[in-house]
Structure 1
Amino acid sequence: MKIAENAALGTRFSLENADDSDVGVNGIQKYTLKPADNFKLEVQNQPDGGRFVEMVLQNPLDREKEETHSLVLIASDGGEPRRSGTVRIHITVLDANDNSPVCSQPVYKAEVKENSPEGTVITTVSANDADNGANGQVTYSTAHVAKETKQLFEVNVQTGEIKVAGKLDFEKSKTYQLNVQASDHGGFSDTCKVIIQITDENDNVPTIQLMSFSNSISEDSPPGTTIAVLNVDDEDFDGNGAVKCSINSDVPFKIESSLTGYYTIVTEDFLDRESNPEYNLTITVSDQGSPPLSSSKNINVKVSDVNDSPPKFDHSEYTKTVAENNSPGLSVFTVSANDADWGQNARVSYFLQERDINGLAVSSLVSVNSDTGVIHAVISFDYEQIKWFEFNVTARDAGSPPLSSVATVKIIVQDQNDNAPQVLYPVQTGGSLVAEMVPRSADVGYLVTKVVAVDVDSGQNAWLSYKLQKATDRALFEVGLQNGEIRTIRQVTDKDAVKQRLTVIVEDNGQPSRSATVVVNVAVADSFPEVLSEFTELTHDKEYNDNLTFYLVLALAVVSFLFITCLVVIISVKIYRWRQSRILYHSNLPVIPYYPPRYSDTLGTGTLPHVYNYEVCRTTDSRKSDMKYIVAVCGAETVN
C-alpha cells in the first residue's frame, strides 16, 4: 500500500477479507493487526452476513522518520484447535512537501582577487531539504541584491556555486554581500548571507599630474630653482600603492619630495644654453607591488638665452688676394662670425674700423655689408700705387649690452700686365733724327747701342725681352734677347749701305704680353759729313712718303663716297617709278591711249609696205587681257 505522509487522521484503508472453508464457529471469528502503532483495525458486518475489514490511520505518518511500515493482518477462526491465516501488509509512506530547505550555514565568507576572470568559483552554498524526490530538490537564487552587484556575481541554480560574472575592482568596492535563497518546489525556502571580500591586486599604474611647470628657464638661474611641481598617486593599497619617483640622471636637475605624494623638480647646477639649449626630462614613478608597475612622463625644458657669448670669427686674421684693375663694387670675400647665443643676442652685424691707409680712409677703399659680412672694393685697385693694406672688421651682436670681437683683414693687390714697356733709350723725337754711328772698320760683335726699356709692372709682367723686328740688313745686326744690346754679327764692309734702319720690339712676359717698338737709325760711315748728307735725304724721303700716303687715302675716300651716292640715287629712282605705276594701276582716272609712232619697213622687200601696230588700254582691269591688232593692206586683201 502507498500512503501519503500527510494523510489525515481517521483515513480508512480497505483490506481484503480472509476466506475460511469452515462454517459456523470454525469459520473466521477475529482479525488482528500488528503492530497497531499508527493504524487500528475495524471490522464491519455487512447486511449479507459478510465482513468488511478496514485499517484506520490513528497517528500521523512521517516519511522523514520512517519511510516504510510493515504490518501483519491475522485472521483467526473459533475452532479447536484454533487456526489462523496471515497476510503481510507493506506500507510505503509517500513524501509530502512538509519540510523547508535549510542552509548549511547562515553566513558564508569568501575572498576573491580583483580582476579575476569571469567564471572563477568564489564559494558554494548548500541547503538540505528533508523531503524526497521533487519535494527535496533545492534551487538557489539571489534575493534583494543591487543591480550592480548582481552583474558582478552569478549563482548556479542547481549547485549553489557562486562565480565571478563581471570585472571586480578593489578600488571601487572592497566587500560585497549576497543574499542567497534556497527554495524547493513547494515554495518553502531558506536564506543565507554570502560576504565576499575583494583582495587587492597591483593593477593600477601610478599616475603623474603636473601641478605647475615652467617650460623655459634662464641660463643664469641659480641652483635650486624650481621648474615643476607634480603630484603622484596610486589607487592600490599598501605596498601596491607605495610609490617611488625619480628622473633621468643625465640632466642637471634633481627631484625632491616636499609632501606625501608631491614632488618638486629643481636645478642642481648652473645651466649653459650654448652647451645644451634644452633638456628632455623623463619622470618615472613605480610602485612596490609584485610585479611592480610604473609610468613615466616626458617634459621638455628650454634654456632661455642670456647674452654671455661674444661673436667669434672663423679666423682672427684673413688674407685675400685681389687682382688690380678690378671693377668698383667687386665682392672681394666674406668674413663670418658666429654667436653661440640665440635670437637677438646671436644677430651679428659687421662694421669697419676707420683708419688711414697711405693718406686714404679705409672706407674709401673697401666697404662691408653689415648683415652678410661681404667685403666690397669701393675703388679699382692699382698695384703700382698700393700693393697691400690692412684693416679691422668688428662683429657686434644685438644683445643688451652688446658684445663684439675684431678680426684683421689683409688685402694683397695682385699685379696685372696693364702697363706696356717704356723705351728710355734711344729717345724717339718728332723733329730731329738721331742715329748711331758704326765705323766701317767695326769688327764682329761691335756694340752699336743698347735699347733701354722699363716696365712699371712687377714680377714676370716686368720681364722684358728684345727682338729685331725689321732691319735694312738683317745679316749685319742682332739684338740681345735679354739686355737689348745691338751688335754686329759680321764684319762691316764698304758695300754696306750707309743708312741702316732697325726696328726693335720690346715685349714683357705678361699674359697677354704687351710690347713697345723703337726705331734705331744706324749710320755706317767713317766721317760725320757723310752721315749728315745721307740722313738729310732720308728725312726728305720720309716726308714725301708721308704726303703720298695721305693723298692715296684721301682719293680712296672720295671714290667710295661717289660710288655710294650713285648707288643710292639709282635705287631711289627705281622705287619712285614703281610707286607711280602702282598708283595708276589702282586709280579710277580715265585712260589716255598711247599711240606708238609709225614704223616703216626699212628693208623695203615685203609685200606689205606699211604695218600699223596699235596697243589699246581700255579700263584699268583690262590691262590684264590686252588685245593687239595688226592690219596689213595689199590690194583688196585684208588680213585681220
Structure 2
Amino acid sequence: CGQSATCMLPFELLLSNPLQFFRIEVALEDINDHSPFFPEKKVTFKILETSDSGSRFPLEGAQDLDIGSNTVQAYSISPVNEYFSVYYGTRIKDKKYLELVLEKPLDREEHAEMSFSVIAVDGGSPPRTGTTEVKIAILDVNDNAPIFTREEYIGKVFENMPKNSVVLTVLATDQDAGVNGDISYKLSEAVGHSHSTFAIDPITGEIKIAKPLDYEAAESHELRVTATDGGGLSAICKVLVEVVDVNDNAPEVVVSSFSSPLPENTAPGTVVALFTVRDRDSGANGKISCGLEDQLFFSLRPAYKNYYELVTVSALDREETARYILRVTAADAGSPPLTSTQTFTVDISDVNDNAPVFNQTSYTMYVRENNV
C-alpha cells in the first residue's frame, strides 16, 4: 500500500448450496522493516565564508518505506562540530524540511573544507538508521542563494498526455551576476515512485513527462526540484503533480458462480449466475450499469454493491428451447462510454413432463380373411 495510512486487503467468501457470499477485509499493520536511506550517499555544499550565523542550507531528507512512527523521526550530526547543527521541522502544509544550520561564522583561511555525517533515525523499536556524508567546501564569494518564486508548485495533467509533454515550469532567481547567478535545476521524486516518470530541463526548469502516466497506479506524484547556482548555493522546492483520470479502462465482469444445465422445471426466481462488475477508473468513468439482452425468460437483479444475480423469471420448456445464449453488457458512464460483454450459455436439461401421445385416437384397418 505504499505510503497510505491505511492498508486493507478485501476479498469475498462464496458459499454454495445455498448460495451465500461474505465480504472480508484484512487490515495490514506496518512494522519497522525498512531503514531510512538518503537519495545520495555523499552531498557536497559550497558555502561562502561570508555566510552569517543562522544561515540555513537545505538538505534532501532521508526516505523510509515505513509509515507513522516507523518512519524518520530525528536527525543528528556525527561527529558533533561547533560550526553546524541539523534542523528538522515543518514549514508549510505539514511538509517536513531538513536543513543544515550554520552556528558560527566560517573562515576559509582557517578551514578550507570540513566533512561530517548526517544520521537519520526512525521511531521503530529498535530504531533503524541511515547515513549520508556531507562535505563542506568554503568559498570566498557568492553571497546570494537561488530563491524559487514559490515554495510549492502544483500542476495537473491528464493520464493520457503524450511523452515529453510539459507539466509545469519552476523558476528560481539569483541576485548574483556571472557564473554565481547561473542556475541549473535537478529533479528527484519522493519515495514510492519511479525515478523516471518525469524529467526536468536543467536550464529552463520545464518539467516534462518521461514515461506514460497511469491514474490507477498513482493519483499524484510528489517531486523535489533543487536549484543550484554556479557557486554551489542551492534551494529546494516541492512540486505536486496531480494526475487527472480519463476513461481508459473498460468495465470488467467477474463471474463468481454459474449453474448450467438447468432442469426445465426450475422455478422462476432461481439464481443462475452471480457476478460482479468493476472499473478501475474513478468518478463517472468508473460508474457502471448492466443490461441483459433477453428479458423474457431471464433478468438481472442487484445483489450487493457491484454484485448482480442472473435469475429465471418464467417457466422453462426444453422441448421448446433447449439452450439460451445470454449476453450481459456492462457499460461505464464515461464519454464516450466503454463496454464489455459476458456471455452465459445456459443449457436446459430434460425432465419427464410429457406422456406418450398417439398420432390418432383410433385406427381402422381391413384384413382379408384368407391371409396367413
Q: Same fold (TM over 0.5)?
A: yes
Answer whether contact 2:190 2:221 (CA < 8 A) is retained.
no
Answer whether contact 1:205 1:295 (CA < 8 A) is retained.
yes
Partner of 1:386: 371
Show CA shifts across 1:184-231 (max 9, x none): 121111111101111111122111111111021111111111101111
Q: Distance in 2 between matches of 1:172 and 1:255?
A: 32
Q: Does residue 1:173 correspond to 2:218, yes or no?
A: yes
Q: Distance in 2 between matches of 1:223 and 1:185?
A: 81
Q: Does residue 1:107 correspond to 2:152, yes or no?
A: yes
Partner of 2:337: 292
Partner of 1:54: none
Structure 1 pair 251/279, CA: closer, same or farther in 2 (3 Å)? farther
Partner of 2:274: 229
State the AA in 2 paired with 1:189. S
What's the offset of the Cα at 1:315?
8.1
Answer whether contact 2:248 2:281 (CA < 8 A) is retained.
yes
Q: Distance in 1 between matches of 2:286 and 2:201?
A: 35
Partner of 1:117: 162
Q: Does residue 1:214 correspond to 2:199, yes or no?
A: no
Query: Once the two structures are aligned, what percentage of the paired residues are identical?
Result: 38
Partner of 1:157: 202
Question: 1:536-551 counterparts in 2 under 5 A?
Answer: none
The 3-state SS of whatever aligns with 1:240 is: helix
Q: Which has the larger radius of gyration?
A: 1
Answer whether contact 2:298 2:312 (CA < 8 A) is retained.
yes
Match of 1:276 among 304, 309, 321: 321
Answer whether contact 1:130 1:136 (CA < 8 A) is retained.
yes
Q: Distance in 2 between matches of 1:147 and 1:184?
A: 29
Structure 1 pair 184/215, CA: closer, same or farther in 2 (3 Å)? same
What's the offset of the Cα at 1:134?
2.4
Show CA shifts across 1:479-512 (max 9, x none): xxxxxxxxxxxxxxxxxxxxxxxxxxxxxxxxxx
Q: Distance in 2 between matches of 1:96 and 1:201?
A: 51
Structure 1 pair 212/312, CA: closer, same or farther in 2 (3 Å)? same
Question: 1:335-346 counterparts in 2 under 5 A?
Answer: none
Match of 1:309 among 340, 349, 354: 354
What's the offset of the Cα at 1:281?
0.8
Question: 1:112-511 counterparts in 2 under 5 A?
Answer: 112-143=157-188, 145-146=190-191, 148-249=193-294, 251-310=296-355, 385-386=370-371
Structure 1 pair 146/155, CA: closer, same or farther in 2 (3 Å)? farther
What's the offset of the Cα at 1:237?
1.6
What's the offset of the Cα at 1:183?
0.7
Answer whether contact 2:287 2:332 (CA < 8 A) is retained.
yes
Question: 1:589-604 counterparts in 2 under 5 A?
Answer: none
Task: Return 5+ residue gaps in structure 2 as ranges.
Answer: 1-47, 51-139
Show CA shifts across 1:391-427 (max 9, x none): xxxxxxxxxxxxxxxxxxxxxxxxxxxxxxxxxxxxx
Q: Distance in 2 between matches of 1:172 and 1:144?
A: 15
Answer whether contact 2:189 2:222 (CA < 8 A) is retained.
no
Structure 1 pair 144/164, CA: closer, same or farther in 2 (3 Å)? closer
What's the offset of the Cα at 1:297?
0.8
State the AA in 1 paired with 2:333. Q
Q: Distance in 2 between matches of 1:234 and 1:158?
A: 42
What's the offset of the Cα at 1:282?
0.6
TM-score, normalising length: structure 2 = 0.58
What's the offset of the Cα at 1:317?
8.9
Q: Distance in 1 between matches of 2:146 and 2:204?
A: 14
> Cα RMSD over matched residues?
3.0
| Larger RCO, structure (CA 8 Å, separation 6 or more) | 2
State the AA in 1 paired with 2:158. K
What's the offset of the Cα at 1:318?
9.4
Answer whether contact 1:149 1:176 (CA < 8 A) is retained.
no
Task: Return 5+ residue gaps in structure 1 as ranges.
Answer: 1-5, 9-94, 321-356, 360-384, 388-640
Answer whether contact 1:175 1:195 (CA < 8 A) is retained.
yes
